[in-house]
A and B are shown apart, each in its own frame.
Chain A
Amino acid sequence: MCTSFMGQLLTATHNFGTAPTRVLATADTFKAALYLTTATVDANTTVYSVTNEVSGTNYTAGGVTISGSPAWNVPTATNSSATAGVAFTTPTAPITYGTSLNPVSLSTAFNAVLIYNSTQADKAVSVHTFGSQTITAGTFTLTMPTNNTTNALLRLSTT
């Protein structure tokens, strides 16, 4: 498979079936929602759901918008050999819940974040887990991994 093709998948260049009509050529809006340790969010998740999402002071259902300018690094496709390659991208900025002026309180333990496409009917993108956390009148920050072929948050690989 051509590595350039994988990179183009990340920008919706190809359509092999029925796909949403895109009015704008700009990036979609993606959001990040937190889930309780009791939630089942994994590779089978297809769409954002409020079921077992965290709730608490200053947390809005649906989570926060992945912001930044741009929100995501420009998708990159890199060949590692004549037969293998990786396409990847990562949000450009940390994802933060709460501020010093508007702290969040999430008293029930959570350990997962669902990234989903709020422009495209809340379709799921990926789930990422971490050690169980609670927040009390504070902030919760998710800092992204290095945006490269081996660590990027989203990777499409032929290997």
Chain B
Amino acid sequence: MITTTKGLMDETLLEKREGFIDNDNEYTTWVEYWHDGELVHRSAHVRLKKMPNFIGGEAASF
């Protein structure tokens, strides 16, 4: 069963779409479930790799 905007739905009734992002900063996976052309579920999982320095991910260098 999948949580959706319409409540719990049987996965067999849904179209599943998946994708990912893989770069120096992150490895991200996402999954979507569609029902009759409508997006009813989307989850994402971001695995941070290493933060770019310019946004403060590396707190400081002395």
A residues apposed to B, CB below 8 Å:
1, 6, 42-43, 45, 100, 103, 105, 125-131, 133-145, 150-151, 153-159
Please give me the residue from chain B that is nearest to A150 by CB atom: B50
**B contact residues around A136 at 8 Å (CB):** 5, 32, 39-42
Of A103, A136, A145, A153, the most chain B CB neighbours within 10 A belong to A136
Q: Would you call A6 and B62 a contact (CB within 8 A)?
A: yes
For A142, the chain B residues whose CB sits under 8 A away are 46, 48
Additional 13 contacts, C-beta under 8 A, given A42-B56, A43-B56, A154-B59: A1-B62, A42-B55, A103-B43, A127-B56, A130-B21, A131-B28, A136-B5, A140-B43, A143-B46, A145-B50, A145-B51, A154-B57, A157-B60
Total interface residues on B, CB under 8 Å, equals 33
Q: Which residues of A contact B61 (CB under 8 A)?
A: 156-159
* Bound Cα distance A108, B5 (Å): 16
In the complex with contacts A128-B48, A130-B25, A137-B40 CB distance below 8 A: yes
